Chains A and B, each alone.
Chain A
Amino acid sequence: MTDFKGAAQSWSLVAFFSVVTLTLLLCVVTGPDRDDLDEFYTGYRFLSPLRNGLAIAGDYISAATVLTVGGIIALCGYDGVVLALSTLLSLLLLMFLLAEPLHHTGRFTMGDVLARRMPGRAVRITACAVTLAALVPMMVVQLAGVGQLLAYVLGFSDSTMRTACVVGAGALMITYAALGGMRGTALIQILKTVILLGSGLVVAALILHTFGWSPPTLFRTAARNSGAGHNYLRYGLQFAGGRHPALDMVSTQCAIVLGGASLPHVTMRMYTAGSTRQVRRAMSWAVSAVALFIAVMTVVAVGATALIGAKTITAADPRGSTAYLLGARAAFGTDLSRPESLLFTTVTTAIFLTLLASVASMTLACANSLAHDIAARPDTPPLREMALARLSALAVGIPVIGLAVLAQHRSLQPLAILSFCLGASAIAPALLYSLFWRRYTRAGLLATLIGGTVSVLVLLPGTGLVSGTPQSAFPDADFNWFPFTTTALVSVPAGFLCGLVATVLSRRRSGARARNRYEAIEPVLLAGPAYPKNG
C-alpha cells in the first residue's frame, strides 16, 4: 500500500520532467528583459496583492516545513500541531509588526533596511554575512531533501543516483535564480502554492470523507494506530527523551515564532509590493493561504497515522519526513484508478516543486545580498550589478551543492534548527530594534547581529541534535552538553541583550546622532515614501 510502483512511478517521472521544463520556460520568458536593477531585484512590483500573497506563502512554506513538520504531526500528534501553529503565528507577527515598516524603508535587501538607519559598509557586510549564515543551512536541507524524495518516489536506492539528483536540482536552482530574478521565482512560487494547496485540499477531503467528516474520529483513530494511545493527543511525545521536555518545547516554539518569518527570503518579498495597502493585502492573502495549508497538512499527516499506522511511517523514514506523501497515497486506497494515480502524481509534483522553488528563492536572497550589499558600490553601473547578482547565484549555489552532497546521509534537523535560531536570535532583534527603537546605535546593531549569531553557533553544536543520540547528525560522537534541543531559550535573550548593552555603552558618543537619524526617517518609516514606489 505504501510503495510507489508501476503507473504512479512513471507518471511521477513524466510529471517531474514537465514541471522542470515548464518552470524553466517561465523563468526565461518572464525574466528581466532590460538592464534595470529594479526589475531584477523586485520584478518592478508588478504583482497584484493576491499573486504577491501567494508568492509570499510559497516562500514561506518551504519543503522543510512540509516534510519535517508533517512528520512530527504524524508521529507526535499534538506537539506537531503546536509546531505548525507557531509557524503560522510567525507569519502573522511579520504582518502585524514588520511588513509595513520593511516595505517603507527597504529597497532590495535586508542590508538596505538596516543601512537606511545606520549607513556604513560594516553594517552591510555584517547583514550579508548573517543572511548567508541563516539561509545556507536551510538550502542544504532542501537540496539534500530533493535527493531523498526522488529516491523514495522513483524507487532507487543507489547512492550515486541520489548524488546526481542533488547536483541536478542544484543546477536548476541556480538557473532559476540567475535567469528569473525576482519575477521568475515569484511565478514559480505562485504555481507551487496553487498546486500544493489544490492537491492538498483534494487529499484532505478524501481523508475526512473516509472518517465520515468527523475530525474527532480521525484523531481518535490516529491515536489508536500511533502506538502511543492517549499520549498522542497531549503534549510530550516529541521531547520525551530530553532532560527538560517543557522548556525544550518552549524553546523550539520560540525559535520558530521569532525566526520563521524573519528569514531574509521571506522578508525580501515585502519590498516587491507597490503600496502600503498592497503589502497589507498581500500579507492577508499569504496568512490565509498558510493557515489553509496548515489545516490541510494536519489532516493529511494525522490521516497518514490513522490509515497506515505509525510503524509503517517510521519504517519508511525514522523521522517521518515522507508522512505527507504516505498519507496522500493511503487516502486513495490500495488500487489506483487512472484519475487517482494522476491526482497522486499531482501531490508528488507539488512536493518536488516546493523543494525546487524554496531553494531557488533562498539562492536569490543570498545572491541579491552578496551583490547589492557587498560587491556593488554606489557608482556601479546597473548592468554590472546585475551580472554580479547572477554570478553571486553561482557563487552561493556551488558550495551549497557540495555541502548538500556531503550532508545527505546525515540528520538534517540541526541545520534547519540553525537557520531558525539565527533568524530568531540575530535577524529578528536587529530588525525590531532598528525599526522601532529610536536610541538604537550602530554599535548596538552590530552587537545584536554578531552576538546573536555567535551565541547560536557556540551553543548549537552542544545540543542533542548534533551528537549523543541515535537520531543525531553524528551518532557515533558524543559532545552533547547543552540540555535543550534548540538554542533559542538562551540565544534569543543573548541577541536582544547584546544590542541593549552595546547601545547603552555607546550612547554617550553616538546616541544623539542615532536619535536624529531616526527622527529623519520616521515619516517614511510610518507613512511610506511620499510617492508610490515605481510600478
Chain B
Amino acid sequence: MSADSSELHPLRHRPARHASPIPPSSPSAPHGNSNWRSVRARSWTGPHRDLRLLRRACRRQRRVAALVALGYFAVFLTLTVALPSVMTAPALGGLPAGLCLALVQLPVTWLAVLFYEYTARRHVDPLARRVRHQTPHPRDEQVRP
C-alpha cells in the first residue's frame, strides 16, 4: 500500500545552478563529524535558500492572517461572555455595542480576504514560483499513493 516513496525523494542539492554571494561552505564553519548534516542543511545556496525564504513568508502570512481573524473573534466572544455590561452599552442607532461589533465583522471579513490575496500575490507567489521551478523534474505525481 505504501508504494509512493518513489515520488518523495528529497530535493537534490545543486549549488552550481544558483549564484550566491556566500560560498557554498564557509571555511570558518566547523566541520566536525557530529554536525555535518546541520551545516549542509544550512548552506546558503540555491533551492535551500529559496525554500527557506518561502517557508518564512508562508509562515508569517499564515500566522498574521489566522491570528488577526481568530483574535478579533476571540476578543469579541470573551467580551460578550465576560463583560456583558460593555456589550450592552448603547452604540450606533441605539443598538447595543455587541450587536454593532458583530455586524461590523461582515465588511471586515471582506477586507481581510482582499488584504490576504494582495499580500499572497506580492510576497509569497514569486518565491513559490522560484521553488517550483527548481523542484527536480516533474515526478509522476499522478501515481496513486
Residues of A within 8 A of B (CB): 38, 78, 81-82, 85-86, 88-89, 92-93, 95-97, 107, 112, 115-116, 119-121, 124, 214-216, 219-220, 230, 233-236, 246, 249-250, 253, 257, 276-277, 280-281, 283-284, 287-288, 291, 294-295, 298, 376-378, 516-517, 519-524, 526-531, 534
User: Do most interface residues of chain A lie in helix, strand or loop, or is the interface mixed?
Assistant: helix
Q: Write the chain B residue with the least CB distance to A254.
A: B77
* Stretch among B16-24, B27-35, B65-73 lining the A interface: B65-73
Evaluate contact between B109 and A287: CB separation under 8 angstroms: yes
The minimal Cβ–Cβ distance linking A103 to chain B, given in whole angstroms, is 12
Q: Are B113 and A529 in contact (CB under 8 A)?
A: no
Contact B2 A214 (CB under 8 A): no
Residues of B within 8 A of A112 (CB): 145
12 cross-chain CB contacts under 8 A:
A81-B102, A89-B70, A95-B113, A119-B1, A120-B1, A124-B1, A233-B98, A378-B143, A517-B8, A520-B9, A527-B128, A527-B131
Top 3 closest pairs, chain A to chain B, by CB: A216-B93, A119-B2, A527-B128
Are B73's CB and A85's CB within 8 A? yes
Other than the given A81-B99, A95-B116, A276-B128, 12 more pairs (CB < 8 A) read: A81-B103, A93-B66, A215-B93, A235-B80, A249-B80, A250-B81, A288-B113, A523-B11, A523-B131, A526-B131, A527-B129, A529-B132
* Least CB distance, A117 to chain B, in whole angstroms: 10
Query: What bracket does the count of chain B residues touching chain A fall in?
Result: 35 or more
Chain A residues whose CB sits within 8 angstroms of the CB of B134 once the complex forms = 523
Chain B contacts to A: CB under 8 angstroms:
1-5, 8-11, 47, 51, 54-55, 58, 62, 65-66, 69-70, 73, 77, 80-82, 84, 87-88, 92-96, 98-99, 102-103, 105-106, 109-110, 112-114, 116-117, 120-121, 125, 127-129, 131-135, 137-139, 141-145
Contacts of A116 in B (CB 8 A): 4, 145
Which of A38, A82, A119, A287 is in CB contact (< 8 Å) with B5?
A119
Contact among B51, B58, B87 for A235, CB-based, below 8 A: B87
Question: Which residues of the other chain, A, contact B109 by a CB distance below 8 angstroms?
Answer: 88-89, 92, 287, 291
A534 to B142 CA separation, bound complex (whole angstroms): 10
Q: Are A291 and B110 in contact (CB under 8 A)?
A: yes
- Looking across the interface, which residue of chain A has its beta carbon closest to that of B136? A530
Taken together as a complex, chains A and B put the C-alpha atoms of A86 and B69 apart, in Å, by 11
B-chain residues with CB within 8 Å of residue A519 when the two chains form the complex? 10
User: Smallest Cβ distance from B142 to chain A, in angstroms?
Assistant: 8
- Of B54, B92, B133, which one neighbours A526 at CB under 8 angstroms? B54
